[in-house]
Amino acid sequence: MITVAVTGGIGAGKSTVSRRLAELGAVVIDSDRLAREVVAPGSAGLAEIAAEFGTDVIAADGSLLRPALAAIVFGDPAARTRLESITHPRVRALFEEQRAAAPANAVVVNDIPLLVDLRVAAGFHLVLTVRADPEVRVARLIDRGLAEADARARIAAQITDADRDPLTDKWLDNDGAPEALESTIDSLWRDRLLPFERNVREGRVADPSGGAGTAVADPATARRLAARIGAAVPGSAVTVLAPTGPAPGSVHLRAATVDPRLLPELTAAGFPPLARPSGVAVVGDADAAVHRHGAADPGQPADVDVLLGLR
């Protein structure tokens, strides 16, 4: 199983991408729908919101008065943070519950509009970001019934594509014909997502020549991979050793003081073992062994030196 985030600004086409991935066989979990579920009438989340913000945000039928709540949190970062502290943990828990119920060989897709933090992005095997020209997005929102001023205001209120770039493993351009985007998604599914999932499940390093696209070994890519390794093996010290590893476009990283009991977690995160342990390194423990791991992602090779040892 792998988990893939699909994100992007309003009107960019996240739903279009998620819908096509579902048609191809992905298990799609919509974060907007989860967010509605956790504040449904009678839910613990809604009760906590009422306790925090007052009963004026609750309608007569027991549902959430979204405009009333929006009026409180809009422009008030502290209030927004309090709201997020109520809803976000519940959304994450519900996502994990549904992810765990998916088949063992699933490609689980999380349609998530608000992906803004590398620590959150590191929990996914891959982040796909959909983008389109702002004017194209405005036109789409107008077609949905929004006034032009409202459409532009909603776009302006979100983070920019430049902000999303450090979190993004693969950009999906959606300015053109629907057929072009569909073709891109189909190729991505066939050449990258399905092999990626199979490699993770079988604990196998990908063959980077498998046709999944051109890898990019830039600092942002290295930071994303390092964050994923750090999330998989907490307590380790992850560093970038060189701009590139042995394969073209490969990132070379080192994870030190890795608890050996967490090696299966590293494989599950997309970094399976490449070879038997070799040599000895002193990393807080004179018997710390060196393991070489690679990437299960056929679209982004990596060479990871794993040094075992407890801090």
Buried-exposed string 176-206: b where 16+ CB fall within 10 A, e elsewhere: eeeeebeebbeebbebbbbbbbebbbeebbb
| Encoded tokens for 151 | 């459409």
> Where do the H-state alpha helices sit in 101-171?
118-121, 134-143, 148-157, 161-164
CA distance 269 to 200: 8
> Where do the H-state alpha helices sit in the chain?
14-24, 31-37, 44-53, 66-73, 77-100, 118-121, 134-143, 148-157, 161-164, 178-188, 194-202, 219-232, 263-268
CA distance 136 to 174: 9
Q: What's the chain's length in residues?
A: 311
* Contact indicator for 65, 57 with CB cutoff of 8 Å: yes
Number of Cβ within 10 Å of residue 136's Cβ equals 16
Q: For the packed helices 44-53 and 66-73, what is the interaxial angle rounded to 10 degrees?
A: 50
CA distance 31 to 34: 5
Which residues are known binding-site members for ATP? 11-16
- Helices vs strands, H then E, count in the chain: 13, 9
Q: Which of 7, 30, 12, 6 is nearest to 151 (CA)?
A: 12
Rg (CA), the chain: 21
Which residues are known binding-site members? 11-16
The structure tokens 């919509």 sit at 30
